A and B are shown apart, each in its own frame.
Chain A
């Protein structure tokens, strides 16, 4: 099968408050000849969030034209700085912060802070309103620390569940609404302030989780497997978030072996999907190309999944900021 589509990656850029402010599109696979058309959803994405493209080696004229028509302008390198402590200057340079500063360890290890108080508060509200399990689950799907603590809680002594937890709604149902409410309140009391890295980390974790879920859907796996894929992506950054070894953090959880093996050793189908998600946010186009080929995923299909993921992530970010306000 001929596959002329370029492989896309998106790198998130933060504003000086550490919040997502723009996406930088890179196009891998430069040797491919006819790169057009791009995924039509790209226009939607450029409407939803400032998008720039970055092409150090240059791009064919026609492609630049297509991107600009889609609303994706070239990135001015001066806009971006790698050190978030540098303030933008009067000319608006350095208004964005790239690099993976948010992937560096936290000031001190802590496995207990809620990454986003806004999301935790939203959860409290949902639980107080006796919202449907489906809605409550959707918040856990956006907040890896909350999701992690939930799984740890239903496996802690005293509840005596002793069974494998395969998705978040199962955990919510095991815990029960009242205990969920008490737990959230206590968690909020203990979490005095947000981790400054949190908004960007949550963004990356959300993208990994959703992309892995969609990849599994694309590969024809069922809902349960898709849930595990999502969980793998979401938890892939909790080691960074907590500043603790991932293996230690996973030990108290009773989750599927394939999730654990994927997270710790990149093994199995989930491990392969995780490699794709990691190469996509690194970004490492060469590795990405190899992994996609190994999974027999066409570049055009991957691009579509990735843009769908980015759109979903923007929805999540927006709804979080709304409830934050």
Chain B
């Protein structure tokens, strides 16, 4: 048995090397290096090592000492070389902060740690100071004191050597690629083709040599628009996996439809190094009949439905609307100045213009709406399901806005606009021919009066539309000129009547029309995206107010703010953080009230934003639980602390058994999930007593206080008022 080599031996050799010179030194160093090799292969670091942090620090082998909780207590020179962190930077940190925290790289060795063994080895996926990822082989052992009780941990590290299996794997992958039935094309970061397989050559007609070094434009058919190409281009550069149909062009010039999926390969720095497209020729799948169908129902120039098709769709929708009492609208749109363009610049330019107009109009509509080209420069848009008739005017504005930017065609910069006439069903008529005629009449009126714009067929709708427009303008003005106010409605403990919060509610004292209810102007703000500015204004105003109260020595409770679903994007946590910092207030002074309608955007998009808000110390309340898109399964996944019982249930309490049951269920569920329950809109002592009895925590409502202007609310909290609770 060979004598065991310890690091102490190595240290002795080091000292020897320091004292020696020339060839002697060289031979000592050679010996040292082989000793260290032996050590690093077999080393279970000796316990004394960890205790002597100073000794450890001098070692060139990567060794880390940890306390039992995992915080770095010593850090060798070798560890510094491996990770890039100096001892001063590393000591005091926790081991987990050396780990790469990429969700994609799921399990690493630490997860597989055999818990009961004395020593164990595993592979770690970690990140150097430079940000570079590395795989490290770690051996960890417990350091024990004289009585055998653990006092710390020592980790001995080695960078993982290149995986031998990787080569085999590569060979295997190469075979799979080459023999695939599907065409495969691999490009580098500059979009040059670096590899294609046999199926690629078979489908496209290009040989390998012809394809290599080219870009995928080799197959470009020219039938796709710039947007579409931009999507594909983005996918090639790592915007995310992409799947779809692309019309390609074979070497012989023949166009062919292909079903394509594009993904990218990244290096450890997360840069895209290659992109691969896998495609199959789906020409055969497209039956001739399908094409016939298309010709009969679609306009070949713009690819939009034609008159036959839209009439068919409208008839169908009208039949459904009669049954279900739905609202819809037809918009007849006629381009202005088109004839002049066609006459002066030629049909080619005119045709291209129509194609681009069609694309913009289509893009401005919702998926479920339809748009058709029904004549030279005439289009019909059909909105099959609108909640309010007025919404059709917003769509008309959108369509007009979509045409505002100039068109660049064949070196010309072209401006067009449109006249739009709107008929709505069931009010104006319930048969397709009449609706089309009415929309046309309204459109002609726009043309008579001037150049562009929109009108309704019915005079009453025109009046409403202009009122709406006025309100929107007034609202803009109010927002810009300090015309909006925040009121504060106290939230009261149901147990002892103390004020434990307040909901900030927006109020609009209109100079001519008096107080305008949020129910009137918030929908308009939502539709016009003014809600984003209003939302920012609310957050800013509330934060400023909280700060002002604090400066005045007023002990204000938590203030709850309402967030619109539109505000709820990935930038929200940072925006709120910045606003809070600007005013110097802490997150625990704010609560954010969100609504279930958020979920329409998909829980997987919304939950990370909620988590981020909570991680920043804000608390979340769910405002209208039970009224909308409820999903009990999601409720558990939301990091919310507060559930609000909507006023629509509270109204029915205690007379309506259904409402009582719902309120009771919400309370029970909230208690289960440790969420506090706030009832809104409490107006009577009966409601109060019922809510108290079922275990509701807080309430707000006229029974105690309406929303108050700042001065009155401040007076209330300064007086430290406890509200008297009704007797049971």
Contact A173 B611, beta carbon cutoff 8 Å: yes
- A133, A163, A188, A226: the one contacting B115 at CB < 8 Å is A188
Q: Is the pair A156, B94 in contact by a Cβ cutoff of 8 Å?
A: yes
What are the interface flags for A199-229 relative to B under an 8 Å C-beta threshold, 1 for contact and 0 otherwise?
0000000000000000001111111101000
Report if B477 contacts A (CB, 8 A). Answer: no
Q: Which residues of B contact A186 (CB under 8 A)?
A: 66, 70, 95-96, 110, 113, 153
Measured CB to CB, the nearest residue on chain B to A145 is B69
Interface pair A221/B586, CB less than 8 Å apart: no
Q: Is the CB of B619 within 8 A of A223?
A: yes
User: Which residues of A112-133 have CB atoms within 8 Å of chain B's CB atoms?
Assistant: 112-113, 128, 132-133
A220 engages B500 (CB within 8 Å): yes
Cα–Cα distance between A110 and B149 once the two chains are bound (Å)? 10
A181 to B103, CA, bound (A): 12
Contact between chains at A222 and B115 (CB < 8 Å): no
Task: Determine whether the beta carbon of A164 is less than 8 Å from that of B617.
Answer: yes
9-residue interface stretch from A35-43, A78-86, A189-197:
A189-197
Which residues from 493 to 538 on chain B have a C-beta closer than 8 Å to any C-beta of chain A?
493-498, 500-501
Determine how close the nearest CB of chain A comes to the CB of B562; give it in whole angstroms. Answer: 18
> Is B140 an interface position by the 8 A CB rule?
yes
Let me know if A166 and B99 touch, CB within 8 A. no
A176 to B106 CA separation, bound complex (whole angstroms): 12
A52 within 8 A of B: no
Interface contact A190-B94, CB-CB below 8 Å: no
Is residue A111 contacting chain B, with contact meaning CB distance below 8 A? yes
Q: Which residues of A contact B500 (CB under 8 A)?
A: 220-222
Could you say which of A158, A169, A183 contacts B614, with CB atoms under 8 Å apart?
A169
Are B96 and A179 interface neighbours, CB within 8 A?
A: yes
- How far is it, in angstroms, between the C-alpha of A185 and the C-alpha of B674 when the chains are bound? 28
A157 at the interface (CB under 8 A from B): yes
> Which residues of chain A come closer than 8 Å to B95, judged between CB atoms?
182-183, 186
Q: How far, in Å, is A298 (CB) from chain B's closest CB?
A: 12
User: A1 at the A/B interface (Cβ < 8 Å)?
Assistant: no
Q: Is A149 an interface residue (CB 8 A)?
A: yes
A183 and B113 contacting across the interface, CB-CB below 8 Å: no
Q: How near does chain A come to B671, taking the closest CB pair, in angstroms?
A: 10
> CB-nearest residue of chain B relative to A226?
B676
- The minimal Cβ–Cβ distance linking A258 to chain B, given in whole angstroms, is 11
Mark contacts of B584-618 with chain A using CB atoms, 8 A cut-off: 1 yes-contact digit, 0 otherwise: 00111000000000000000000000011011110
- Does A90 sit within 8 A of B, measured CB to CB? no
For the complex, what is the distance from the CA of A80 to the CA of B393, rounded to whole Å? 83
Q: Would you list which residues of chain B between 552 and 587 have a CB under 8 Å from chain A?
A: 557-558, 586-587
Is B228 located at the chain interface by the 8 A CB criterion? Answer: no
**A182 in contact with B115 (CB, 8 Å):** no
Query: In the complex, are the beta carbons of B617 and A166 less than 8 A apart?
Result: yes
Assess A132 versus B636: contact at CB under 8 Å? Given A190-B142, A219-B496, A224-B588.
Answer: yes
A183/B70 contact (C-beta < 8 A), A222-B501, A224-B619 known = yes
Residues A61-104 near B (CB distance < 8 A)? none
Our pick among B71, B92, B150 for the contact of A192 (Cβ within 8 Å) is B150
CB distance A173 to B614 under 8 Å? yes
Q: Does B549 contact A (CB under 8 A)?
A: no
- For B614, the chain A residues whose CB sits under 8 A away are 169-170, 173
Which listed residue, A128, A152, A173, A176, touches B639 by the CB 8 Å rule?
Answer: A173
Residue ID in chain B nearest A120 by CB atoms: B115
The size of the chain B interface, using a CB distance under 8 A, is 58
Query: A174 at interface (Cβ–Cβ under 8 A)?
Result: yes
Task: Say whether B99 contacts A179, CB under 8 Å.
Answer: yes
- Answer yes or no: A251 CB below 8 A from chain B CBs: no
Shortest CB–CB separation between residue B673 and chain A, in angstroms? Answer: 6
Smallest CB separation, A268 vs chain B (Å): 13
B67 within 8 A of A: yes
- Please tell me if B4 contacts chain A, counting CB pairs below 8 Å: no
Cα distance A265–B141 in the bound complex, in angstroms: 40
The interface residues of chain B lying within 8 Å CB-to-CB of A185 are 110-111, 113, 115
Q: Could you say which of B69, B70, B71, B619 has the most chain A C-beta atoms within 10 Å of its C-beta?
A: B69
Does B312 make an interface contact (CB < 8 A)? no
Q: Which residue of B lies closest to A165 (CB)?
A: B617
Name A180's closest neighbour in chain B (CB-CB): B96
Give Cα A181 to B113, complex, Å. 11
- The answer, yes or no, to whether B86 is at the interface (CB within 8 Å) is no
Q: Verify if A178 is at the interface (C-beta below 8 Å from B).
A: yes
Which residues of B in the span 66-101 have a Cβ within 8 Å of any Cβ on A? 66-71, 92-97, 99, 101
Assess the A163–B68 pair: CB atoms within 8 A: no
* Inter-subunit contact B99/A182 (CB<8 Å): yes
* B142 partner residues in chain A, CB cutoff 8 A: 189-190, 192
In contact, A163 and B149 (Cβ under 8 angstroms): no
State how many angstroms separate the Cβ of B603 from the closest Cβ of chain A: 12
Report if B440 contacts A (CB, 8 A): no
Whether A134 pairs with B92 at a CB distance below 8 angstroms is no
- Chain B residues whose CB sits within 8 angstroms of the CB of A157 once the complex forms: 92-93
Min Cβ gap A201→B in Å is 18
- A248 CB to nearest chain B CB (Å): 14
Verify if B641 is at the interface (C-beta below 8 Å from A): yes
Verify if A314 is at the interface (C-beta below 8 Å from B). Answer: no
* Shortest distance between the CB of B468 and any CB in chain A (Å): 40
Max chain A C-beta neighbours (<10 A), residue from B70, B110, B140, B673:
B70
Would A220 and B496 count as touching, CB distance under 8 A? yes
Instruction: Decide if A190 touches B615 in the complex (CB within 8 Å).
Output: no
Task: Please measure, in the bound complex, the distance between the C-alpha atom of A191 and the C-alpha atom of B67, giving whole angstroms.
Answer: 11
A108 on the interface (CB 8 Å rule)? yes
A187 to B94, CA, bound (A): 11
Q: Which of A133, A152, A222 has the most CB of B within 10 A?
A: A222
Nearest CB on B from A99, distance (A):
26
Q: Is A325 part of the binding interface, using a Cβ–Cβ cutoff of 8 Å?
A: no
Question: Whole-angstrom distance between the alpha carbons of A58 and B586 in the complex?
Answer: 54
Decide if B637 touches A182 in the complex (CB within 8 Å): no
Instruction: Judge if B697 is at the interface, Cβ distance under 8 Å.
Output: yes
A159: interface (CB < 8 Å): yes
A163 and B616 contacting across the interface, CB-CB below 8 Å: yes
- Chain A residues lying within 8 Å of B612, measured Cβ to Cβ, are 173
Which residues in window 139-168 of A have CB below 8 A to B?
149, 152-153, 156-159, 163-166
List 20 extra interface pairs beyond A156-B97, A181-B111, A188-B113, CB under 8 A.
A110-B149, A132-B636, A134-B639, A157-B92, A158-B93, A159-B97, A176-B101, A178-B101, A178-B106, A182-B108, A182-B110, A185-B115, A187-B70, A192-B150, A220-B494, A220-B495, A221-B500, A222-B500, A223-B641, A223-B642
Q: 8 closest Cβ contacts across the A-B interface?
A: A220-B493, A112-B68, A158-B97, A158-B93, A173-B615, A190-B68, A112-B69, A179-B96
